[in-house]
Structure 1
């Protein structure tokens, strides 16, 4: 499907991989009450957050990636993770709807010219009253990447036509290499 990302995994060229769930996302996930809500983590890589959700009783958590390798990695770590919740394919072709979508390094991995399409697709697949929440990078947008950066002002402009911005603030609990360069956000679809 996508050789760029598959080649990165084959060559262990995955500097974004923390080897565990992101602290800002774990803090958010720990506050979730409804364990039967439909949750998606797109472009999730090795999906440590979906593993956390699964092990904590969330029964409708899905993960999607354009490379099969990280999905296989998740399945080898969590053999009882449902195969039907491992979505291999292009996010932009997804037609299922979700209550909550978790953003974890997917947005910053897309080419900047895909950002408007990302926002429109999110608005399309999140149920009314549902949320898009997660972490965005807060550093100057560069032409070389991924990851590609951005600013709170840019993100607010991009998301506000489609979502109510409930929260967008600097993460207080980023891992050391990312401290000061991550924004945690929660958006609600009207």
Structure 2
């Protein structure tokens, strides 16, 4: 099976220890963000495609109110055990991000994505950008580490074009920063870029 739109595809990867994107530790660039001005004074955080939950647990340890979701029940089971081991509270959801209910509209001051945008069906990227907008509060922050920025056939991970991603997210969000000066792990240096967007105040169009 190779259908990224089905949870079983992802469960199979996790069950077989084939989650090659997993760092087995919090993402260094995300750890930096937790202490940054962009996250300062914001507390409600959604981690999209949280995998084994390292980033979500790290954020909870630093006082953020964290919701973390993943399509894979196998990954979330591990993440829940990790949170219990670290004695932190995280609201874990086994859920397709596209199917989040209205309960989560305008719900988060921060949304973070690392290796989720590149994992979804590329034909759904516009829908993804719109869903990000929907779950953000006014003045909320969307932080995404775009990876892999390269020409490649097939996926996941599917190739990421920075211009395409910027155009999609900028339709409703304001780009604040776009930089490759981040704390990348060695194999990914030069292949990823941090972007931070803000959801403008005011009514949605």
Unaligned runs of 5+ in 2: 1-5, 201-205
Distance in 1 (CA, whole Å) between partners of 2:155 and 2:148 is 14
What corresponds to 1:179 in structure 2? Answer: 189
Counterpart secondary structure, 2:143: strand
SS in 2 for 1:73: helix
Whole-Å separation in 1 of the counterparts to 2:72 and 2:164: 29
Kept in 2, the 8 Å contact 1:44–1:105? The answer is no
Comparing 73-82 with 122-131, greater Cα deviation is found at: 73-82
| 1:155 match: secondary structure | helix
- Give CA deviations for 1:17-67 in whole Å, capped at 9, x if unaligned: 0011111111111223336x2110011111211111111222x21100111
Structure 1 residue 143 displacement after superposition:
4.0
- For 2:76 and 2:148, locate their aligned partners in 1 and report how far apart those are by CA, in whole Å: 28
Correspondence 1:65 to 2:70: yes
Contact 1:141 1:148 in 2 (8 A): no
Q: 2:141 aligns with which of 126, 131, 134?
A: 131
> Quick one: distance in 2 between partners of 1:172 and 1:104?
13
Q: Is the 8 A contact 1:40 1:63 kept in 2?
A: yes
> Which one of 25, 41, 58 corresponds to residue 34 of structure 1?
41
**1:45-90 CA-partner distances (Å, limit 9, x unpaired):** 11211111111222x211001111111111212214436x111111
User: TM-score with structure 2 length normalisation?
Assistant: 0.85
- Alignment CA distance shift 1:116-1:76 (3 Å): same
Aligned residues: 187
The reply to whether residue 2 of structure 1 matches residue 12 of structure 2 is: no
Instruction: Summarize the alignment of residues 10-25 of structure 1 with structure 2, pairs less than 5 Å apart.
Output: 10-25=15-30
Alignment correspondent of 2:159 = 149
Aligned mates of 1:132, 1:172 — CA distance in 2? 16
Partner Cα distance (2:129, 2:196) in 1: 14
- Give unmatched runs, 5+ long, in structure 1: none
1:181 to 1:188, Cα distance in 2 relative to 1, 3 A: same
Q: 2:103 aligned with 1:93, yes or no? A: no
Distance 1:189 1:33 in 2: 16
Distance in 2 (alpha carbons) for counterparts of 1:7 and 1:138: 22
